[in-house]
């Protein structure tokens, strides 16, 4: 049956808005009679009409529609129709792959084959990958062959390497080689480098070779790139860009730390001095932000004095200021005279802040006098940075300046002064007596901030009599001072504080009560139990939450009943704290209560119960946790893995090995951390396979290093037969293992 005549008339109107409305009507229809009109409108000259039809096809995605879209690819007269059909097939996704592969096997039209090959590069399936490999040997058209090569690169599958390398070695067409090099770069496997590097001799292939080297990002190519940069007459920006990509490629921490310093050192040692001026000239002439940024990095790495003023000037450019600051840090201590001179003359706050950050990292004692003038700057951020710098570069002459900042009108500056004074005394113990003498005077100050911060310093450096000062301050008329004193008491397990902490549980000020609860957890005096139970009835939700957490630390049977009462009737934050406290009881008496929480609709309650059950004995608990690894929600699966790990039960290993293959990255990470609690050689195959997963590679690497005695021989055996990708990672892990043994 044909489409409605009125709708046909509207769809063929000269008015694009009318056609758009007709397209919207048929796109919502599931009636087969409208399909011919939809395919007609797929080639409309107005992009809005085509997009509306594509949306309709994607919502439907039936085999009949896929076949119609494949037919549309063969329309030689309408590029818009072909492009829209391609977009629709990509968005339909997996249901379209099999028909595309089948069509490609029998298609004779070169242009259609070109479209189909490109499609299966975007959609990707194992059958399609196998077909591309098969066609690589039989395809006669050079454009289709190049598209096959490019599509193989999109798979990023090392299985394509031998076929692409064969193209480089046996095919003569430079256009095809160009695409093969690009594809190998996309795959990113260092095993391709021996086939790629010699092709730099072919002038027309130099750019793709360098770009592929940058994408593969193997540190072994650094010398090759530096040789090109040094020997070629003109400054090779593509080689420089590749070097940046090698240095900044996302790699496991265990690899990145050693490689970055190696690359910077090699660059500084071998970069020709005569290339600095052209590098600076290009920095000033290029409009491209990316190019500016990598030139700045190299100027920092170079250590060349001509680069210093250029880097400092770039601090005033918003787009490059952060990169220039890091470049100055990379430049190192030899740049300090120029950096300090710039700091003294800087007018813009943003530039001053950046220079202070640089001085904070690389400055030495010579920097101190330049910092003092910024301690009274109008901008609190600059004052804080200056104070922090005095803590990072300890010098006895800074003490009085830091003491004066305990009364700064910015709280962050006050805290920075407290931290810097503590760092100063830790570095120069001989200053302690003098600092304490001055602090005792400040403790009598009428200024509340001065008293608070002096008390913090006094306690942090453990001046003689600090216990008495804390007890005295905990009874001060000012609730802010009482709160600070009670909080500081919590840092020490001193029995003499017990009575005052218990009394503070009844303080009239809510912040003091909260501080007392948090402090009492560490000491857990016997007389604190009843007041904490009473605090469960406090009007403030956060007091009740903190009280529940504290009762969990007591692990007293007498606290269970009041806790369970609040589990039934209180708000979620309190209930979660109660659940955690019940778990810490480590008694089977709370098991059924926690089981009931697992069935609640609130995911955070369920998650808390899952983690609490990690401490509760019983095979039925183990079974519930194991079963939860199949929960529909990733948060619950992750919590189940964490809980199983905390139990330290080797019976959980098979379940945790299964969790390593969970589709969610966070669950995988939780499984790795759980296996860290139950280290066992049987986990090696699963952990080793996980080295392919960049999202959890750092976690797996750190676990191997931590348990080096358990896994070293297995890793050494694996290294001998590893492919080129894993070889680098395994070597770095083994190196980190040796470093750990040396340090210990």
Mind giving me the DSSP string for 651-707? GGHHHHHHHTT-SSHHHHHHHHHHHHHS--GGGHHHHHHHTT-TTTHHHHHHHHHHT
Q: Comparing 104-118, 149-163, 239-253, 398-412, which segment has the lowest mean pLDDT?
A: 239-253
Residue 2's pLDDT is: 53
Long-range contacts of 617-621 (CB under 8 A, 24+ apart): 617/586, 617/588, 618/588, 618/591, 620/591, 621/591
> How open is the CA angle 126-130-136, to the nearest 5 degrees?
145
- Helix and strand numbers (H, E) in the chain are 47, 0
Instruction: Identify the three-state secondary structure at position 476.
Output: coil
Ranges of each domain in the chain: 679-744
Q: Which residues contact 382 (CB under 8 A, 6 or more apart)?
A: 349, 352, 353, 356, 374
Model confidence pLDDT, tens digit, residues 124-168 = 899 999 999 999 989 999 999 999 999 999 999 989 999 999 999
Residue 1's pLDDT is: 47
Model confidence pLDDT, tens digit, residues 57-85 = 898 888 999 999 999 998 888 999 999 99
Residue 319 is classified by DSSP as T
Task: Please name which of 634, 713, 710, 715 lies closest in space to residue 671, comparing C-alpha atoms.
Answer: 634
pTM of the model: 0.73
**pLDDT tier at 744 (50, 70, 90 boundaries)?**
low
Quick one: average pLDDT of 589-615? Answer: 94
């Amino acid at each position: 049956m044909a489409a409605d005549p009125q709708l046909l008339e509207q769809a063929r109107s000269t008015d694009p808005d009318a056609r758009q409305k007709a397209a919207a009507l048929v796109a919502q229809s599931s009636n087969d009679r409208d399909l011919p009109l939809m395919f007609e409108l797929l080639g409309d000259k107005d992009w809005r009409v085509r997009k509306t039809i594509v949306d309709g096809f994607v919502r439907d995605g039936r085999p009949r529609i896929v076949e119609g879209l494949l037919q549309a690819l063969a329309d030689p007269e309408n590029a818009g129709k072909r492009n829209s059909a391609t977009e629709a097939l990509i968005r339909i996704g997996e249901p379209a792959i099999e028909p595309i592969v089948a069509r490609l096997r029998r298609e004779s039209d070169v242009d259609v084959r070109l479209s189909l090959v490109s499609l299966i590069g975007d959609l990707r399936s194992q059958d399609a990958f196998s077909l591309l490999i098969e066609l690589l040997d039989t395809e006669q058209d050079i454009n289709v062959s190049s598209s096959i090569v490019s599509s193989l690169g999109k798979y990023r599958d090392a299985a394509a390497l031998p076929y692409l390398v064969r193209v480089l070695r046996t095919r003569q067409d430079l256009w095809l080689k160009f695409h093969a090099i690009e594809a190998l770069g996309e795959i990113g496997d260092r095993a391709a480098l021996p086939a790629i590097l010699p092709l730099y001799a072919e002038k027309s292939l130099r750019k793709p070779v360098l770009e592929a080297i940058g994408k593969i990002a193997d540190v072994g190519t650094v010398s090759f790139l530096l040789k090109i940069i040094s020997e070629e007459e003109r400054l090779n920006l593509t080689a420089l860009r590749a070097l940046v990509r090698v240095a900044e490629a996302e790699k496991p921490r265990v690899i990145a730390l050693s490689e970055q310093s190696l690359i910077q050192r090699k660059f500084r040692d071998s970069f020709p001095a005569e290339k600095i001026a052209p590098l600076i000239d290009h920095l000033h002439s290029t409009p491209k932000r990316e190019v500016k940024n990598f030139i700045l990095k190299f100027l920092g790495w170079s250590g060349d004095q001509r680069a210093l003023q250029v880097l400092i000037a770039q601090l005033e450019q918003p787009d490059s200021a952060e990169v220039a600051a890091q470049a100055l840090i990379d430049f190192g201590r030899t740049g300090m005279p120029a950096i300090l001179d710039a700091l003294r003359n800087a007018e813009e706050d943003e530039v001053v802040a950046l220079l202070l950050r640089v001085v904070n990292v690389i400055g030495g004692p010579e920097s101190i006098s330049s910092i003092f003038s910024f301690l009274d700057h109008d901008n609190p951020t600059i004052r804080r940075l200056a104070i922090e710098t005095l803590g990072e570069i300890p010098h006895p002459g800074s003490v009085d300046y830091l003491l004066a900042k305990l009364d700064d009108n910015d709280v962050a500056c006050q805290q920075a002064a407290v931290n810097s004074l503590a760092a100063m005394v830790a570095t120069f113990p001989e200053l302690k007596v003098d600092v304490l003498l001055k602090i005792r005077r400040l403790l009598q100050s009428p200024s509340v901030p001065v008293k608070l911060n002096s008390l913090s310093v006094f306690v942090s450096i453990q001046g003689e009599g600090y216990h008495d000062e804390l007890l005295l301050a905990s009874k001060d008329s000012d609730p802010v001072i009482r709160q600070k004193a009670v909080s500081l008491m919590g840092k020490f397990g001193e029995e003499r504080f017990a009575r005052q902490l218990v009394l503070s549980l009844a303080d009239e000020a809510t912040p003091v009560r909260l501080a007392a609860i948090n402090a009492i957890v560490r000491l857990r005096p016997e007389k604190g139990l009843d007041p904490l139970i009473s605090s469960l009835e406090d009007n403030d939700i956060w007091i009740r939450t903190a009280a529940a957490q504290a009762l969990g630390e007591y692990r007293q049977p007498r606290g269970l009943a009041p806790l369970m009462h609040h589990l039934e009737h209180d708000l979620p934050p309190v209930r979660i704290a109660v659940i955690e406290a019940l778990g810490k009881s480590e008694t089977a008496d709370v098991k059924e209560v926690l089981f009931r929480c697992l069935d609640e609709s609130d995911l955070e309650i369920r998650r808390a119960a899952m983690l609490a059950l990690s401490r509760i004995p019983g095979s039925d608990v183990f079974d519930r946790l194991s079963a939860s690894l199949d929960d529909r929600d990733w948060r619950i699966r992750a919590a189940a893995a964490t809980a199983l790990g905390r139990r330290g039960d080797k019976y959980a290993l098979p379940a945790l090995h299964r969790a390593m293959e969970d589709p969610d990255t966070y669950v995988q990470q939780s499984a790795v951390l759980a296996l860290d609690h139950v280290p066992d050689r049987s986990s090696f195959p699963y952990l080793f396979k996980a080295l392919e997963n960049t999202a959890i590679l750092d976690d797996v690497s750190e676990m191997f290093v931590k348990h080096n005695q358990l896994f070293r021989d297995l890793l050494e055996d694996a290294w001998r037969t590893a492919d080129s990708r894993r070889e680098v990672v395994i070597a770095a892990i083994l190196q980190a293992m040796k470093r750990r043994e040396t340090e210990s």
